[in-house]
Structure 1
């Protein structure tokens, strides 16, 4: 499956990634992407940027090396109601918002609690993508999550880094297969992202693309098979 943009990536500014924004964009170009999005971790993540970083996005060009550039944020879900750690100032400056559960920001709860947290974030009209809902450390009711994604118009992320054999996430392969199956069953839209923390991984969807082909997933359900899919992410719900 050919994928033309990557909206979940990190630079050195997130505190635990290893390349610069320009290096990431260069690799986006080299990997044939038409659009690239930066999504540093929001302030609750230890070591990440301050609010000021997001406020100054105006200085970043809208296109570099022929690649369209978008500025987002990976918000942290901080409670089981689905609240996030982004102020209005951040929300007003970014092009899009991903919401994810991270062990540094929220303790794993029961399946019901974790599911409530994810669905609560989906109810936020600013959240367009749920990041890596594939970690058995945060068990989820996938039927409920995917049905809520359809109802709220939220994208389910298929995170390529979750397929990495050294990923800290648990049972990524099995959970992603289950997620894909549920998305196909209910007609939920998906987005494939790299979650790159090193520039060479930007736009490298090799593992996920192979899995999607293996499972014969319709391209119509994956928004980044065409540049027009950006509209789904950038427009309000």
Structure 2
């Protein structure tokens, strides 16, 4: 059974194509399950759409849910369509996000840390002029936030847990115990992490997380899922077979998708 839980579309402002385009691409690529998980609005902000080009507007969220549920019915005989969302994690806004999500029949929520010290992790300029101690501080704060997101109880999946390296690959070589400490917290929380195959589109190349982090994740028995993080329909299910083969080599025997916030095991 093939699945992909991490997909975007035009509502977020930096992806192309409509939801139905991604569903049709998934069908054409032989997927059995597709999760729709566009970027959530900033529910902790007063404005309806404070950051166009990053997420959908708050006023669009109900329309988003309605469209996914409509398409779920239309395509039920061809593919299972799941309702998800990729949610930014802001510790001070957890309550605001929960209040919204609790009103909708979400199959799963991906929790992603995109901001550290108020700066987007994919902003290449954030590293300009930083010394070794400052770089270490950014890395440790990033993993502290991921650990906190795991403990929040909001998420079934944590997104791209080493995406900090996207445009700064050498951050992976900065030594710190924070990565292992965070993996322990994730394991204790029971939340899954994704193998996100979009890293190859960034300077770092490859997948998120790195092979060594995935090996450590297996040591801690952290559940795994797959997300292409597609921002174009053509990337649906990207590297599914390759990821599965690698996970088997680490000793994994199953991975998961989520229905009604409950894990569904799929044999590797």
Q: Shorter chain as normaliser: what TM range? A: 0.7 to 0.9
Residues 82, 120 of structure 1: 8 Å contact kept: no
* Residue of 219, 222, 236 corresponding to 2:255: 222
The alpha-carbon distance between structure 1 residues 85 and 105, as it changes in their structure 2 partners (threshold 3 A), is farther
* Runs of 4+ deviating beyond 4 Å: 81-85, 137-140, 171-175
**CA distance, structure 2, for counterparts of residue 191 and residue 84 of structure 1:** 26
The alpha-carbon distance between structure 1 residues 103 and 149, as it changes in their structure 2 partners (threshold 3 A), is closer
CA offsets, 1:106-135, max 9 Å, x none? 436533322221111111222111111123
**CA distance, structure 2, for counterparts of residue 176 and residue 69 of structure 1:** 29
1:213 paired with 2:245, answer: yes
1:12 paired with 2:10, answer: yes
* Residue of 89, 98, 123 corresponding to 2:110: 98
Match of 1:161 in 2: 198
Match of 2:132 in 1: none
CA offsets, 1:159-216, max 9 Å, x none? 0011x1x315x4655951122111111111111110000001111225xx42552460
Q: Tell me: higher relative CO, structure 1 or 2? Use CA pairs within 8 A at least 6 residues apart.
A: 1
Residues 87, 112 of structure 2: 8 Å contact kept: yes
Residues 9, 17 of structure 2: 8 Å contact kept: yes
SS in 2 for 1:230: strand
| RMSD across aligned positions (CA) | 3.0
Match of 1:25 in 2: 23
Match of 1:116 in 2: 144
Gaps of 5+ in 1: 224-228
TM-score (normalizing by structure 2)? 0.71
Residues 150, 187 of structure 1: 8 Å contact kept: yes
CA offsets, 1:130-174, max 9 Å, x none? 111123357772212221111111111110011x1x315x46559
Residues 32, 80 of structure 2: 8 Å contact kept: yes
CA positional deviation for 1:5:
1.1
TM-score (normalizing by structure 1)? 0.80
CA positional deviation for 1:221:
4.5
The alpha-carbon distance between structure 1 residues 182 and 6, as it changes in their structure 2 partners (threshold 3 A), is same
CA positional deviation for 1:98:
0.6
Moved more, 121-130 or 89-98: 89-98
CA offsets, 1:16-39, max 9 Å, x none? 001111110001111111111111
After TM superposition, list the pairs within 5 Å mapping 1:184-195 onto structure 2. 184-195=218-229
